[in-house]
Amino acid sequence: MRSRHACMRHACSRRTFLKSTAVGMIAASSESVMAASPTQGALPPTAPVAIHRCNTYQFELVKSRMSEMFDWLGTVRDLVKNKTVTIKVNLTGHLAQGIQSLNRVETVYTHPMVTLAACKLFEEYGATRCVVVECVNSGTALDCFIEDGYDISLFQSMCPIVEFENTRNLGNGGKYHTLQVGDDGYLFNSFDFNHRYVETDVMVSIAKMKNHDIAGITLSMKNMFGTTPISLYGNDARTNHEDATSDRSSVLHTATYSPQTDGMIEPVISRDDGFRVPRIVTDICRARPIDLAIIDAVVTQSGGEGNWNGDQLGLCVPGILMAGTNCVCVDSVGASVMNFDPQALGWTKPFYNGENTFQLAADRYLGTNNLSDIDVVGTSIADARYAFLPGADKE
């Protein structure tokens, strides 16, 4: 809890009001879970998280380090063998710019060499198909990836089983598919997804380690926010057309109007994006679980997710890769590597402008954010730690 002085100083602030509202909602929801959930009294699940040093994006080095991490985890080979693997990367914001002398591929996006190394290893492990996906606001599947630094010919020559698909809307699918959140969704009971997130055996999220203006930290879980189709959840979703290219602020961030689907819980509890986005991320990851989370933290940035965050952005070179089969565990360890507390209260550092997604996910038994319950293999958190500057406090 905040100090008495801080609470008095912000007694009538938006943050104090929202924090008290959120706590009340969480308490009520927790009572519902305890009354109805078969997991009553159980601890959130845990799984090992691997960390490995990787100082450059040279392909053979990335592949070697990733292979060692997968061997430490001991489950990845069996996970992907004879399977179709869908790989969600982070190519956030077509207007993104690089930091200092480095381009956006190196500092903002999931680096193509990390994605290629993962695809190549999956192929070697016996995967039958790898589909790299992202919801990109414009262009065809291949054009949008090429524009964002992905050499399609290189991917296809080195890994013939790889394909690319833009999942902005229907894409190559004939219809949207509804997936249920399960009991006690925070803000949604279900989501409608592009076929690629349903017609797959394995879901992989490869995220860039970054801060986020609203969520505080964006890693494998927040990367899944972009799986929601813009034609249904975007600002121009009212028209429900397949050419929709807007962002999702009016539907998901602020609930100014309802999505073109029946999954949203009514009435709207809050229209504050700091309240909504972390809860929606948790709901999405329950509806479409992540089977393998990989974090690209070789080179990145701190202070926000893109150049639109302003002067607080800075270049970071943690020089590591991370992986694990429980997204909450991976992201919580990632937060600690960034020198943040994964159990910090919402509306406090680094979650200055919203709730703590990792705590919300742990409260729904998606995984644990308690570091003492997570087995870290390879490089230790202490040896991997690289102090990030948090995003700006809007208040």
Give pLDDT tens digits for 338-374.
999 999 999 999 999 999 999 999 999 999 999 999 9
Question: What is the number of residues in the chain?
Answer: 395
| Average pLDDT value for residue range 169-178 | 92
Residue 44 has pLDDT above 80, yes or no: yes
**φ and ψ at 305, to 5 degrees?**
-100, -10
The band of 36, judged by pLDDT with boundaries at 50, 70 and 90, is very low
pLDDT at 26: 44
Mean pLDDT of the chain: 87
Residue 278 has pLDDT above 70, yes or no: yes
Residues with Cβ < 8 Å from 243, sequence gap 6 or more? none
Residue 216 has pLDDT above 60, yes or no: yes
Closest CA to 105 of 301, 259, 395: 301
Q: Rounded to whole angstroms, how far apart are CA atoms 181 and 33?
A: 14
pLDDT at 101: 66
The band of 146, judged by pLDDT with boundaries at 50, 70 and 90, is confident
The band of 290, judged by pLDDT with boundaries at 50, 70 and 90, is very high
Residue 32 has pLDDT above 60, yes or no: no
- Look up tokens 């943690």; give the residue: 318
pTM of the full predicted structure?
0.90
The band of 120, judged by pLDDT with boundaries at 50, 70 and 90, is very high
Q: Which two tokens stand for residue 321?
A: 């890769």
pLDDT at 43: 92
Q: Rounded to whole angstroms, how far apart are CA atoms 151 and 159?
A: 12
Residue 85 has pLDDT above 50, yes or no: yes
pLDDT at 365: 97
pLDDT at 247: 80
pLDDT at 302: 84
Q: Rounded to whole angstroms, how far apart are CA atoms 161 and 141?
A: 16
Q: Which two tokens stand for residue 31?
A: 């009572």
Q: What is the pLDDT of residues 227-265, one digit of tens each?
A: 999 889 988 766 657 777 778 888 899 998 888 889 999
Q: Rounded to whole angstroms, how far apart are CA atoms 357 and 219?
A: 11
Of 51-60, 131-140, 176-185, 353-362, least confident by mean pLDDT is 131-140
The band of 1, judged by pLDDT with boundaries at 50, 70 and 90, is very low
pLDDT at 309: 62
Q: What is the pLDDT of residues 317-335, one digit of tens each?
A: 999 999 999 999 999 999 9
pLDDT at 180: 98
Q: Which two tokens stand for residue 220?
A: 């494998």
Neighbours of 29 (CB within 10 A): 17
Share of the chain above pLDDT 70, in %: 83
pLDDT at 29: 43
pLDDT at 234: 85
The band of 39, judged by pLDDT with boundaries at 50, 70 and 90, is low
pLDDT at 35: 33
How many Cα atoms occupy the beta-carbon half-sphere of 168 within 13 Å?
23
| Average pLDDT value for residue range 185-196 | 97
Q: What is the pLDDT of residues 45-78, one digit of tens each?
A: 999 999 999 999 999 999 999 999 999 999 999 9
Whether residue 66 contacts residue 378, with contact meaning beta carbons closer than 8 Å, is answered with no
Share of the chain above pLDDT 90, in %: 66
Residue 102 has pLDDT above 80, yes or no: no
The band of 106, judged by pLDDT with boundaries at 50, 70 and 90, is confident
Residues with Cβ < 8 Å from 38, sequence gap 6 or more? none
| Average pLDDT value for residue range 154-175 | 93
